[in-house]
Amino acid sequence: MRLLHTMLRVGNLDRSLAFYTEVLGMRLLRRQDYPEGRFTLAFVGYADESEQAAIELTHNWDTAAYELGNGYGHIALAVPDAAAACAAIRQRGGKVVREAGPMKHGTTIIAFVEDPDGYKIELIQGK
């Protein structure tokens, strides 16, 4: 078994695709409209789905926004330099919600950014 994807419901697909591709540097791997169901699925990631897990962005055409709830945590991305990644993300219009620094009660360097729908993405600096 292997992890295939994580699904996020998004209110504005174009805005979310711009964030994940232009701000975080992922690629649009595939996209399919389902007119009968009034939704679109778009898969983004850093490599082909045969090689790595992806993020499935689900856009229900008649829903403009979602409540995130209190059970969801975050998506984590490995980065070589968390501070540099924050600077690049901010320069591309992304929102940094926790600057790079050691995690609480630990030494791993982390940061957090937020996508247009409010989902948190953790940046974990490699050792």
Point out the residues that are catalytic: 122
- Would you list the DSSP string of 40-54? EEEEEESS-TTTS-E
Q: How far is CA 104 from CA 46, 72, 84, 101, in A?
A: 28, 20, 20, 9
